[in-house]
Amino acid sequence: MKNKLDTAASKRLKRLPLPIFPALASTADRLERQGCDVIRLGQGIPDMPPPPHVIQALQASAAKQQDGWPLAPGKRELREAICRWYRSEQGVDLDPETEVAVLPGFRSGWVQLAAALLGPGDAVLAPDPASPSFAPGIALAGASSVPMPLLADNAYLPELGKISRNQRERAKLMLLGYPANPAAVLAPASFFDEAIRFAEDNKILIVHDFSYGAIGFDGKKPVSFLSRPGAKETGIELYSLSYAYNMAGWRIGFALGNRKAIRLLNTLQAHAGLGVFGAVQDAAIAALTSSQECVRELADLYESRRNALFRDMGRIGWSAAPCEGTCYVWVKTPPGFSSTRFADLVLRKAQVMTVPGSGFGGCGEGYVRLGLLTSEERLREAMRRIQTLSLF
């Protein structure tokens, strides 16, 4: 017999998508327990440690931490450091009091932002394929998603002119993310200008995921949405320190831009007690205010790994356009293979873990995502193993 808890808890949670990474990791774990050497090109976990000065700042602050429960807006010193860093790196001027919110990581920050801005009946224009982090925020807010197909023929940019009038009228937010996860491409400034005009015309707020903003290849610097005229009036940008400084799991990021959205987000986080531990904030200050050479070196490392991987992919006949940024590679599966079937085959037969593109949305079918988060030697070994399957 069902009780009230069964029915109440299920309504919103049943709308959550099935997570793609736990099942993959579980299979990889099982193979490793059986003695297999699994090359994990699936989950996006940096394989390098944070810079030493960031670790030292965390340790020193934790040793004398007397801040108590952290406040939701974040330390004034951190918000000021964020503003100085954004001005230096992106040429964007921000007010630390009204245009910055410190977040407990990108995913948690986005879920809280969605809760602050969305409700039942609201619609969100969402890219497809997209980061799996987006869908839970939409579902838990009770809103619905309107997919914007990202296709290779359009450089993985949404065709805003194809969004119907009805969809425009229903939509409250539009989600974007460049450098793109999983498509691994950059967006030109001209696209952001088009998106800003679209948002202004349709009274839609843009939320831009800039988590991989530090990782561009071939001399190309990723464009910040906020660097474009009118951006702060029409949207906000979310940034994470996970990839620029290898601080994955530290749960620190920030939201910048539109003052009303930032105020609502800070209000919700204050009531929910979602401040970030003070020592982690101090580590973030050290990351943002110290030399950024470590960030540039990390981007160069990923570019070197990308080049090595694509050389070997070409050697085995797996052709693809080189990725432009992020720490991922987005490639088609061999003819006759669905995303899931290919990912399952290479994991079972070659012990190489990839992520099926269908896990990122319907338009991801026929692709897999590979990570650049392991050494060149392991990447070459992964291609050697896949070559033995004679799929290309």
Instruction: Quick: pLDDT tens for 136-186.
Output: 999 999 999 999 999 999 999 999 999 999 999 999 999 999 999 999 999
The two tokens of residue 181 are 């996860």
pLDDT of residue 3: 66
Domain boundaries, the chain: 4-49+293-387, 52-289
- The sign of the torsion formed by the CA atoms of 354, 360, 366, 371 equals negative
- Where are the extended beta strands (E) located within 212-332? 235-240, 253-257, 328-332
Q: What is the dihedral of CA 32, 35, 38, 42, to 10 degrees?
A: -10
pLDDT of residue 25: 80
Q: Which residue has the tokens 């580590």?
A: 283
CATH of domain 52-289: 3.40.640.10
Give the chain's residues under pLDDT 50: none
- Superfamily classification of domain 4-49+293-387: Aspartate Aminotransferase, domain 1 (3.90.1150.10)
C-alpha–C-alpha distance, residues 136 and 142, integer Å: 10
pLDDT of residue 268: 92
Q: What is the dihedral of CA 98, 235, 131, 52, to 10 degrees?
A: -40
- In angstroms, the Cα distances linking 322 to 155, 212, 270, 299 are 12, 17, 43, 15
Q: Which residue has the tokens 């531990």?
A: 277
What does the DSSP assignment read for 24-51?
HHHHHHHHHHTT---EE-SS---SSPPP
Fold match, 4-49+293-387 / 52-289: no
The two tokens of residue 119 are 């409700």
* Residue of 161, 227, 162 lying closest to 190 (CA atoms): 227
State the CB neighbour count (10 A cutoff) for residue 386: 24
The two tokens of residue 126 are 């969402």
- Average pLDDT of the chain, as a whole number: 93
Sheet order of strands, 253-257 included: 100-103, 253-257, 235-240, 205-209, 171-177, 123-128, 144-149
| pTM of the predicted protein model | 0.94
The two tokens of residue 314 are 């070409």
pLDDT of residue 4: 62
pLDDT of residue 5: 60
pLDDT of residue 305: 98
